Amino acid sequence: MFLSLFLQSSTPNSLLGFLPILLIFGIFYFLLFMPMQRQKKQQQKMLAALQNGQVVLTSGGIVGTIIAIESDDTLVLRVKPDNVKIQVARNAVSSLVSGEGKK
């Protein structure tokens, strides 16, 4: 009886109804969107700082050494073991390889 009187007398606040949705959006922003933006900025910074002689890994899995950076945002890579030269887009580089690793 007391519960039914309480439910009838209270009117839901519209802002209080949106609070869980706003809270979920805030959590998604801090857990998903901010790290993705930070990673994208780091990737762009790495791509802008590429230089001749660096060993890179492309998004296709090719490991090569940069031998030329051309004006149209392409790179010429030398791929071992046969020293084949390939031309790739700058955006195809996914990461820098810290060391040569195997010969």
pLDDT for 50-69, tens place per residue? 999 999 999 999 999 999 99
Q: With 70 as the cut, is the pLDDT of residue 8 above it?
A: no
Q: How confident is the model at residue 101 (pLDDT cuts 50, 70, 90)?
A: very low
| Spatial distance between the Cα atoms of 37 and 56, rounded to a whole number of angstroms | 22
pLDDT of residue 71: 87
Q: Where in the chain are the domains?
A: 2-46, 51-96
| Spatial distance between the Cα atoms of 43 and 45, rounded to a whole number of angstroms | 5
pLDDT of residue 89: 95
Q: With 80 as the cut, is the pLDDT of residue 102 above it?
A: no
What's the chain's length in residues? Answer: 103
DSSP state of 85: E
- Percentage of residues in the chain having pLDDT higher than 90: 65
pTM, two decimals, is 0.66
Just give the CATH number of 51-96: 2.30.30.140
Bridge pairing between strands 55-58 and 93-96? antiparallel
